Amino acid sequence: MEKERKITIIKYTLFLLGGLLLGWLLFGHEREREENGHEHDHEDIGLNGEVTFTCSMHPQVRQDDPGDCPICGMDLIPVADADDHQLDDPFLFSMSEAHSRWANVRTSRVEAIHTGPAARLPGRIAVNEREQRLITATFPGRIERLHADFTGRMIRRGEVLATLYSPEMMQAQQELLQAAALRETQPRLYESARARLRLFNLTEDQIDRMVQSGEASPHTDIHAVQPGILTERAVSQGDYVSTGQTLFAIASLEEVWVELEAYERHLADIREGDPADVRIPAQPELSFTGNVEFVNPVLDRQTRSAGVRLTVANPDNLLRPGMLVNATVTATERHRQQIVVPETSILWTGEQSVVYVVNRRNGGLVFEFREIETGARTAEGYIVHSGLTEGEEIAVSGVFAIDAAAQLRGHFSMMAPPVRAVLPEPFRGNLKRLFETYFDLKNALAGDDPREALEHGRRLREQLGETGEHSLEGEHHMFWMEQYAAIDESLKELTAHDDLANIRIHFEPLSEAFIETARTLGAIDDTWYVAFCPMVDDDRGAYWLSEFEEIMNPYFGSMMLRCGEVREVLREGVTSAEEREPPAVHDHVH
């Protein structure tokens, strides 16, 4: 019996262990798959794993979460991961889609819109001088009582502002009363007495009341001639005043002036009639429009600015004299289709302006450092005179983060822009013609035409002589002498043959000299491309310079016209004279 009980316990134990094993086999792997799947999704959502943040100015700073640099306080940016790869061209920097989201990069297409230059001008609200009236004393006296006793109060038309005590006024009234008694017999005397009181700025009603009362009074009321705000009180009670002295100033605020300050650089674009959008910094919700009605022709010597004035309606008295304003004045006379980019897309580097042109490649973004020439500011942004074409895509947000990341990788950036060579005339013009003739020679070789290639080679020697060995002074003098000698030697050998094979052999050192010249002195008025074919010279490879990106191989011509790839881009005027090791060839085209 005991033996059977032990056998039963062993059976149940085996069943239990078998159930546990079966459960692990069924559910354990599934859970592991779920956990692995969850981690994979997390990588997709994040930046392909853990993200490290750094400071563009202090690369030694590293932390796992975004925030501010503990040294300078700048926003931290993600450190590039394997998806962010450095391109051979220092003008280009690539960034993964994930990193671009972290950097808050937004892009927009470049558009040409119908606009004109706009100037942002500071200013203030002022009293409309056309609507301001001065109340002056028309007879001498003393301020017996002052009714309008503080500035800023509202004044009604006809309201009593002050009462004057004036013996001279009393004498004029007595003369009026005496003349009134004789007006039947001496009407001219009566009219003369009334005219004198009118000169004292008394109304006909006031004069009639004096005649009806039959009494002369030394006290006379001064009335407001228009409604408005009392903007000036020039007297106090008890003051003696003389004829012509200013007593009060009353301004109507139904219309006010906006007085703007236009600096010297803006005045050429501002004309009477140009529209202006005016905003009150203290009340951002308050904005209004007007038109320029006056531009001061005289420039202030101290501020180098001139006044620009608008007149605007003020029905609810919301605009108070003295308020500060900012206005954007648009030059309507110069409206035309122009490329305009947002202010947020531009980095300023002194005289140059920089934007990042966007290309999408392999699931990421490639940003091209592009120097542009900007013009006047408009309501939509800044006019671009050169450097961009309509339809190109540019970064309009996160631009500083892109520039900082490029700087960390050693690419051109706002803090490290490309160096440009300045070539004097006539050397620059001669050098340009020299390169153009070289391109003609290169294209003739690509077209398998030895006769035309030889002709261009001879013309190239003539142009080289016209350019001159000692024609470039300054820091590049010795460099040009060396390249001159190399070009001259190659051309002597090249023009000594009339068959394609030998011409192509001597075209290689000629191209090396032209490439080094273009790297050091920059491309002229265009973008040039350094191309490489690995099949030349028993697979040792050879370079050539081209004025277009399409591969047209001068070493093989029609045999392998498309063999090669662009290795380097030389942009207009940009110096890149350091030695470059050609990168390994991958998937070159035959």
Percent of the chain with pLDDT strictly greater than 70 = 83
Q: What burial letters (b/e) apply to 248-282, b meaning 16+ CB within 10 Å?
A: bbbbbbeebbbbbbbeeebbebbeeebbbbbebee
Give mean pLDDT, residues 300-326: 89
pLDDT tens sequence across 316-342: 888 888 999 999 888 776 656 778 899
Tell me, what's the pLDDT at 123?
Answer: 93
Which of 183-197, 220-234, 542-556 bottoms out in mean pLDDT, i.e. has the lowest? 183-197
Question: Under DSSP, is residue 349 helix (H, G, I), strand (E, B) or coil?
Answer: strand
Tell me, what's the pLDDT at 585?
Answer: 39
Model pTM greater than 0.85? Answer: no
Rounded CA separation 444/486 (Å): 21
Tell me, what's the pLDDT at 32?
Answer: 40
Give mean pLDDT, residues 286-313: 90
Answer yes or no: is pLDDT of 580 > 60.
Answer: no
In angstroms, the first-to-last Cα distance of the chain is 90
pLDDT tens sequence across 84-136: 444 567 888 888 777 777 778 888 998 887 666 678 899 999 998 888 888 88
Rounded CA separation 492/481 (Å): 16
Note the helical H segments in 366-449: 399-408, 427-446
Question: Under DSSP, is residue 202 helix (H, G, I), strand (E, B) or coil?
Answer: coil
Tell me, what's the pLDDT at 85?
Answer: 40
Name the β-bridge partners of 512. Answer: none
Rounded CA separation 291/204 (Å): 42
CB 99 within 8 A of CB 47: yes
Percent of the chain with pLDDT strictly greater than 90 = 27
Where residue 581 falls among pLDDT bands split at 50, 70, 90? very low
Give mean pLDDT, residues 286-306: 90
pLDDT tens sequence across 124-133: 999 988 888 8
SS (H, E, C) 38-70: HHHHHHHHCCCCCCCEECCCCCCCCECCCCECC
pLDDT tens sequence across 377-422: 776 788 888 888 888 999 999 888 888 888 877 788 888 788 777 8
Q: Which two tokens stand for residue 245?
A: 């002295």
Most confident of 164-173, 313-322, 488-497: 488-497
pLDDT tens sequence across 339-377: 889 988 998 876 678 999 998 876 678 888 888 888 877
Tell me, what's the pLDDT at 311?
Answer: 92
**Which of the two residues, 144 and 208, has the higher pLDDT score?**
144
